[in-house]
Amino acid sequence: MKTIQSFYRLWMIVAALCVLPSCEEERHAPIQDTDAIPAAVINPVATSLPGAASISYQLPDDKNLLYVKAQAEIKEGVTREVKTSYYANSFVIDGFGDTLLYPVRIYSVGRNNKMSDPVIVPVKPQTPPVFTVYESIAESVQETFGGIKFSIQNPSKADMRIHFATTDTAGKPITETYYTSSVAASYSYKGFDTLPRVFSFYVEDRWGNSSDYFTSTFYPWPETPLDKNKFRAAFLPGDMSQNYTNRPIEKLWDNLLGDANMLHTLTGIQPLPHTITFDLGVKAFLTSVKVIGRSNTATQYMYNAGHPQEWRIFGSTAPNPNGAWDDSWTELRSTPCVSFKPSGLPAGQLTQDDIDYQLAGEEFELNYEVPVRYLRWSVDAVWGGPTIQFFNMTEIWLYGRIVETY
């Protein structure tokens, strides 16, 4: 009987112990439940950057410190905040739209979420990237075939939006926006007739800072897109067969994108350069060509795996049928066409800038002084390295002034 009573008392004690914790209200509190205010950072030093400032400092000897926070009002009603852990001793605060003097407030934040009094550091940013990019466009914009062309200089690699605008013949606005964070790039805004046309543009950054408006009248040069329905294959001795896995030369002008809709030369037959020849179906003074190398955005293909990197373009009205590189051919550029990768990253790595730039097509100006009917391309190098001995190309467009149709 005593054994049973002892077991019953023990069972009641255990049950009570199990119930007691559940009766207590769960309490959430800072990691360190104390009212101690962390010590402030020491000896902050500011260095001006384009549209930004770098601030270094010494950390206080305070075990309560969790991170450092900085705040600045970059424009009226807009506060920029950055945080950095106690393992770092500097930060960059950006988003400034001018070169005025700004106070930056630096706080130490403790493990109890308490903040120190602010240490105020004045900063004076250098010229913001939005104005550097604007000036580079304003200095470079000029007339070209079918529109205007321009280049940018963006040494800070800042994210930029370039807004262009004009009007159609009915006076309705036509707009185009270019997105870039490239150090340097060239663009064209085309598709217009030769009438005088007013173009405007301004540049905007990710913080909403914007440049002035640039407005000027330009006179686009005459240019007509060639009808790709007239293009025909014109295989010559020495040209490389292109029908690898059913991807013949005709894929270059089918107006379709994707890996199944591209030209692909045979592999393992002969080293680069690989040449192709085709008939335009017209005689024309060519002004420019636009090319999409690879339209598959997977990193293992675009700017890789046979995507043309450097090639030469030749034109003729009556090529030698034996395929000889003789005086029946004229090179249509003083320098080779070189594919540009905005990010500069190695093969297998892409940025959104790389993808957008490639899918928009790379454009190259051609020698306008020589009329041609046949084009011969010699691809001398490809993205992906010297071990790749083939090339592939998705789509082309040609522009110029047609003088005779066949």
Least confident among 2-6, 182-186, 205-209, 344-348: 2-6
Top mean pLDDT of 10-24, 136-150, 236-250 is at: 136-150
Domain 224-405 in the same topology as domain 129-218: no
pLDDT at 5 over 70: no
Which of 335, 316, 327 lies closest to 380, judged by CA? 335
Which of 242, 247, 262, 233 lies closest to 395, judged by CA? 262
Listed in order, strand segments (DSSP E) in 111-226 are: 119-123, 142-144, 147-153, 160-167, 173-180, 184-190, 197-205, 214-218, 224-225
Of the options 1.10.287.3240, 2.60.40.10, 1.10.540.10, 2.60.120.620, the CATH number for the domain spanning 129-218:
2.60.40.10
3 state SS of 132: helix
pLDDT at 1 over 60: no
Q: Which helix (H) or strand (E) holds 203?
A: strand 197-205
Report whether 107 contacts 93 (CB < 8 A). Answer: no
Report whether 38 contacts 116 (CB < 8 A). Answer: yes
Task: Report pLDDT digits (tens) over 330-367.
Answer: 999 999 999 999 888 888 899 888 998 999 999 999 98
pLDDT at 246: 84
pLDDT at 310 over 90: yes
pLDDT at 7: 40
Count other Cβ atoms within 10 Å, centred on residue 263.
23
pLDDT at 319: 96
Give the architecture (CATH level 2) of 42-123.
Sandwich (2.60)
Task: Report pLDDT digits (tens) over 144-165.
Answer: 989 999 999 999 999 999 999 9
Q: What is the mean pLDDT of residues 226-247?
A: 90
Q: What is the mean pLDDT of residues 139-146?
A: 94
pLDDT at 270: 87
Task: Report pLDDT digits (tens) over 193-207.
Answer: 999 999 999 999 999
Task: Report pLDDT digits (tens) over 34-83.
Answer: 789 999 999 999 999 999 999 999 999 999 999 999 999 999 999 999 99
Q: Regarding beta strands 308-316 and 371-382, do their DSSP bridges make them parallel or antiparallel, or are they unpaired?
A: antiparallel
Domain boundaries, the chain: 42-123, 129-218, 224-405
224-405 maps to CATH 2.60.120.260: yes
Does residue 397 or residue 14 have the better pLDDT? 397
Tokens for 255, please give them: 């107006």
pLDDT at 269: 84
